[in-house]
Structure 1
Amino acid sequence: MKYTALGRSGLKVSKLCLGTMNFGVSTDEKESFRIMDAALDAGINFFDTANIYGWGENSGRTEEIIGKWFAQGGNRREKVVLATKVYGNMSDPLDGPNGEVGLSAYKIRRHLEGSLRRLQTDHIELYQMHHVDRDVSWDELWEAFHIHQLQGKIGYIGSSNFAGRDLVKAQYEAKNHHMLGLVSEQHKYNLLCRLPELEVLPAAEELGIGVVAWSPLEGGLLGGNASKKVPGSRTEKNTRYEQYAKQLDEFATLCRELGETEANVALAWTLAHPAMTAPIIGPRTLEQLEGALRVCEIELDEAVLKRLDEIFPGPGGAAPQAYAW
Structure 2
Amino acid sequence: MEFTQLGRSGLSVSRLCLGTMNFGPLTSEPDSFSIMDSAHDAGINFFDTANVYGQDKGKGATETILGNWFAQGGGRREKTVLATKLYGDMGEWPNEGRLSALNIRRALDASLTRLQTDYVDLYQFHHIDRRTPWEEIWQAMEVAVAQGKILYAGSSNFAGWHIAQAQSAAASRHFTGLVSEQSIYNLVTRDIELEVIPAAEHYGLGILPWSPLQGGLLGGVLKKDQEGKRRLQGRAKEAVEQRRPAIEAYEAFAAELGHEPGDVALAWLLHQPAVTAPIVGPRTQEQLDAGVRALSVTLDEAALARLDEIFPGRQTAPEHYAW
Q: How does the TM-score come out when normalised to structure 2?
A: 0.96
Deviations 1:85-117 (A, max 9, x none): 0000112x5xx2112x42100001111011000
Are 1:26 and 2:26 an aligned pair? Answer: yes
Query: How far, CA to CA, are the matches of 1:232 and 1:117 in structure 2?
Result: 40
Question: How far does residue 232 in structure 1 lie from its aligned partner after superposition?
Answer: 9.0
CA distance in 1, matches of 2:170, 2:297: 37
CA distance in 1, matches of 2:319, 2:164: 19
Closer, same or farther in 2 for the Cα pair 1:232/1:29, shift >3 Å?
Answer: closer
> Whole-Å Cα distance in 1 between the matches of residues 295 and 239 of structure 2?
28
SS in 1 for 2:68: helix
Would the aligned equivalents of 1:162 and 1:187 in 2 still touch at CA under 8 Å?
yes
Q: Helix, strand or coil: the match of 1:239?
A: helix
Is residue 2:163 matched to residue 1:167? yes
Residue in structure 1 matched with residue 66 of structure 2 by the alignment: 66
SS in 2 for 1:184: strand
2:90 alignment counterpart: 90
C-alpha separation between the residues in 1 aligned to 2:152 and 2:18?
A: 18
CA deviations on 1:93-151 (whole Å, 9 max, x unpaired) are 5xx2112x421000011110110000000000000000000110011000000000000
Aligned partners of 2:21 and 2:54 also within 8 Å: yes
**Structure-2 residue corresponding to 1:135:** 131
Note closer, same or farther for the CA distance 1:177–1:232 as it changes in structure 2 (3 Å cut). Answer: closer
CA distance in 2 between partners of 1:10 and 1:147 (Å): 21
In 1, Cα distance between equivalents of 2:159 and 2:47: 24
Q: Is the 8 A contact 1:67 1:120 kept in 2?
A: yes
Flag the 1:68–1:2 CA change in 2: closer, same or farther, 3 A. same
Q: 1:177 corresponds to which residue?
A: 173
TM-score (norm 1): 0.95
Q: Distance in 2 between matches of 1:232 and 1:140?
A: 48
Residue 48 (structure 1) shift: 0.1
Residues 57 and 97 (structure 1 numbering): CA distance in 2 closer, same or farther, change over 3 Å? Answer: farther
Question: Could you tell me whether the CA contact under 8 Å between 1:217 and 1:266 is conserved in 2?
Answer: yes
Which of residues 126, 146, 152 is equivalent to 2:122? 126
**2:49–2:85 CA contact under 8 A, matched in 1:** yes
- C-alpha spacing 1:57/1:132, structure 2 compared with 1 (3 Å): same
**2: distance between equivalents of 1:303 and 1:104?**
48
Structure 2 unaligned segments of length 5 or more: list them.
Answer: none
Distance 2:231 2:312 in 1: 34
Structure 1 runs (4+) deviating above 6 angstroms are: 229-233
Aligned to 2:291: 292
Unaligned residue ranges in structure 1 (runs of 5+) = none
Letter in 2 for 1:224: G
Measure, in 2, the Cα distance between the counterparts of 1:89 and 1:223. 32
2 CA distance for matches of 1:301 and 1:57?
44
Q: Counterparts of 2:41 and 2:155 in 1: how far apart (Å)? A: 28
Equivalent residue for 2:194? 198
Q: How far did residue 314 of structure 1 move?
A: 1.3
In the TM superposition, residue 57 of structure 1 has moved relative to its aligned partner by: 6.6
RMSD: 1.5
The 1-side partners of 2:236 and 2:200 are apart by 31
Answer whether contact 1:63 1:115 (CA < 8 A) is retained: yes
Mapping for residues 250-261 of structure 1, pairs under 5 Å: 250-261=249-260
Deviations 1:43-79 (A, max 9, x none): 0000000000002670000000000000111000000
1:224 aligns with 2:220: yes
Matched, 1:148 2:144: yes
Q: 10-19 vs 220-229, which deviates more?
A: 220-229
Structure 2 counterpart of 1:262: 261
C-alpha deviation, 1:234, in angstroms:
2.5
Q: For 2:3 and 2:106, how far apart are their aligned partners in 1?
A: 33
| 1:178-215 deviations in Å (ceiling 9; x for gaps) | 10110000000011101111100111011100010001
- Are 2:102 and 1:106 equivalent residues in the alignment? yes
Number of the residue aligned with 2:41:
41
Query: Quick one: percent identity of the two aligned structures?
Result: 56
